[in-house]
A and B are shown apart, each in its own frame.
Chain A
Amino acid sequence: MNPSVEALRREFGGKIGRAVESCGDTIVYVETEHAREILAWLKNTPGQEYNYLIDVTAVEYRDPELPLEVVYLLFSLDRKAQLCVKIALTKTGDLEVDSVVPLWQGANWLEREVYDMFGITFRDHPDLRRILMWETYSEGYPLRKDFPLRGRLSRSEQVKRALHANPEAHYSMELLSIAEAFNDLPHDMRERLAKGERGAIPEPEQGTDRG
């Protein structure tokens, strides 16, 4: 068992849930409301110094009784120690946790991925948008267990919506390095960029939903 668990219990007492050891890794459950406080303590306290966030991800178990879990994999580069911190979220409650981007900048895209795939929102995230699916994707959160493998809509509706997306809308003109050259662009491209929209969502038709 990682000695950090004992230190956590001394510091936070009841805010720390059960801890288990699995395949040599220590997993410790913490309370949702105090997660950021605890993670900040783990990062900044001498003797802990978990200064590297390996991954943020989430798990949904097949058993509907079990909660959704948000998983933080921490690593201390100096001490070469690893710790897995988990938050359990009730599926019926609102799936919301504090963002850890203020602690680790690298959490930005990781939390966006968790939001995209599981629908868990992160408070105070600077830019919480979908990252893998396109932004106008409206079928839900693909890695949730209630999500059908082939998506919720019929294939023709999916192709139609995909073709409605505007590929240029994923980037700002600054990102494309064409802000100064805007007036020299072809007319149709100028029009698409000027709209600044991220693809139009067509109205859903009756009877296309196949659950």
Chain B
Amino acid sequence: MGVTPSDGAKSAGGTSVISQISPNWITTRLDFLANWARSNSLWPMPFGTACCAIEFMATAASRFDISRFGMERLGYSPRQADLLLCAGRLPFKLAPVIRRIYDQMPQPKWVISMGACASTGGIFDTYAMTQGIDTVVPVDVYVPGCPPRPEGLLYGILLLHKKIRGETMVDKSIREEHILQPGGLRLPPEHVDVLSEPFGNSVHQTRSA
């Protein structure tokens, strides 16, 4: 193996040996193998709340057929899935639900935010809607569209494949659990406010009375 610190095998503080070595021939080969397997057998957990879910169904059905990418096994249990696919708007009432689903999924796990509403709140810049699911769970790939065509979703999935193929076991931060901060949020409150700022036509929707 490559360069190893003298007391590396002791793994002080519970960190594993892998975290203390730099990328080398063996880890990159193992990465290649693991990423190849993971990216080609994603088990999605569809979280369909709106019309994007209909388009997702079209993607899953025979014409577009996501089983071509090893994704035909849709897991309706978060414990047996590694891709959370949020298709549709997320009202505040569902925020704790998607948060718990995300927490219940085992690592490694990824999230695709499908459509304008899941990504930004879309046209629903209202009192009842989260302005993007990234205020609640971390997101890997955003698919724009209202709703996205199946080709768009497939492109997003292929982008996620690409992202997975670039992961490495040496970078432990990839597998970090993004748990809620003591304040109850995933991000600092100012970030949530900035992420939720109105944009585009919503800027003119300030009428209140």
Contact = CB atoms under 8 A, between A and B. Distances in A.
A189 B208 CA distance: 40
A106 interface: no
A179 interface: no
A171 to B, nearest CB: 13
A154 interface: yes
Interface in B159-209: 180, 183-185, 189-190, 192-193, 195-196, 198, 205-209
Contact of A156 (B92, B97, B193, B205): B193
B100 interface: yes
Interface residues of A, number: 26
Contacts of A163: 95-96, 99, 136, 180, 184-185
Contacts of A150: 125-127, 198
Contacts of B100: 167
Given A159-B92, A163-B180, A147 B135 contact: no
Contacts of A162: 92-93, 95-96, 130
Contacts of A155: 131, 135, 192-193, 195-196
Contacts of A158: 92, 127
Interface stretch (A8-16, A81-89, A138-146): A138-146
Interface residues of B, number: 31
Contacts of B135: 155, 159
B137 to A, nearest CB: 11
A154 to B, nearest CB: 6
A61 to B, nearest CB: 12
Given A133-B128, A159-B185, A165 B208 contact: no
A157 B135 CA distance: 11
In this complex, the member of A142, A145, A165 whose beta carbon has the largest number of chain B beta carbons within 10 angstroms is A165
In the A-B complex, the 8 residue pairs with the smallest Cβ-Cβ separation, listed nearest first, are A151-B127, A156-B189, A155-B196, A162-B92, A156-B192, A148-B208, A162-B95, A160-B184
Given A142-B128, A147-B127, 13 more contacts: A145-B209, A146-B208, A148-B208, A149-B207, A155-B131, A156-B196, A159-B92, A159-B95, A159-B135, A159-B192, A160-B185, A162-B92, A162-B96
Interface of B: 92-93, 95-97, 99-100, 125-128, 130-131, 135-136, 180, 183-185, 189-190, 192-193, 195-196, 198, 205-209
Interface of A: 133-134, 139, 142, 145-151, 154-167, 202
